[in-house]
Amino acid sequence: MVFSFKDKYINPLTDFGFKRVFGSEPNKVLLIDFLNTLLPKHHRVAEVTFKNTENLGSTALDRKAIFDIYCQGENGDRFIVEVQKAKQNYFKDRSVYYSTFPIQEQAQQGDWDYQLAAVYTIGVLDFIFEDHRSDETLLHVVELKDQNCNVFYDKLKFIYIELPKFDKTLDALESHFDKWLFVLKHLAELPNQPTSLRGSLFDQLFSVAEIANFSPIEQETYENSLKYYRDLNNVVDTSRQEGRQEGILQVAQRMKLAGVPTSEISTYTGLSSEEVSGLE
């Protein structure tokens, strides 16, 4: 079955799209380039090897959204990068939990001095952390620090990108990092490859992402992945809206019990006088 898509390019935040761009051997040059916009200079990536992902994640959905990459730096260092496409529920807990896997798997039998390779966890978020909503910062680098805010252990870092906070237009893109964020957020909306996003690397990315280049099986897989992504976002949005409405009702109930006039309750909560009158 061949599907008819309105979009020319995939949404890279779907499980299928994310893995096609960042988690496949033929396209590892895209992953290396993206990682080098995020990692510190002393750990610029020269080569990557994908770990078998069958054992990653406690659920099938997590296994699609999390993969470990064994990296060799330009300076010869070897380190591990774990890339996670974020889900909203308990994401900080989830990312810390899965970061322990590439740490524990470095254990060696027999005499071992416990020297570990550095581990980076990169989370690509299509939502904003509730406790960061008033903060304009979209790139968060988290390290283990002591009570004096000095880095206690420099081999474990969490890097989170809150994509919804990225609001630059195509004409306002300044850095290579900006271009990557724009592609991640807006690729599926683009009718064609923009002139400012050309060059061998982005040419490859747009070719990889063009739905017309997919086989029928790939198109079907992407269709299912896109449907799941949209359904999940709808559930989250509905839950947030229901939670907000429930909070408004609770405030209105307390105001009513306190004897606040119905007209004032309506003004402050946006509820109709009939809705206020129906509260018990």
Q: Which two tokens stand for residue 234?
A: 């709808």
Kindly report, residue by residue over 150-194, the tens digit of the pLDDT.
999 999 999 999 999 999 999 999 999 999 999 999 999 999 999
Domain enclosing residue 63, as ranges:
15-214
Q: What is the mean pLDDT of the chain?
A: 84
| Radius of gyration for the chain, computed over Cα atoms and rounded to the nearest angstrom | 23
Q: Which candidate, 184, 229, 239, places its Cα nearest to that of 64? A: 229
Supply the pLDDT for residue 126. 86
What's 133's DSSP letter? Answer: T
What is the pLDDT confidence band of residue 239, given thresholds at 50, 70 and 90? low
Phi, psi of 149 (to 5 degrees): 65, 25
Which of 199, 214, 229 is at the close of a domain? 214
The whole-angstrom separation of Cα 68 and Cα 101 is 9
In this structure, of 74-83, 95-104, 130-139, 234-243, the range with the lowest mean pLDDT score is 234-243
Same domain, 116 and 157: yes
For the sheet containing 139-145, what is the strand order? 45-50, 66-73, 78-85, 119-125, 151-162, 139-145
* pTM of the model as a whole: 0.78
Higher pLDDT pick, 77 / 56 = 77
Does residue 121 sit in the same domain as residue 141?
A: yes
* Amino acid 215: pLDDT: 92
> Counting every residue, how long is the chain?
280
Which residues on adjacent β-strands are paired with residue 156?
Answer: 119
In a domain, 269, yes or no: yes
Rounded distance, CA 223 to CA 11, Å? 11
Of the residues 214, 235, 259, the one at which a domain ends? 214
Residue 238 main-chain phi, psi, to 5 deg:
-65, -45
Domain stop point among 192, 214, 236: 214
* Domain count along the chain: 2
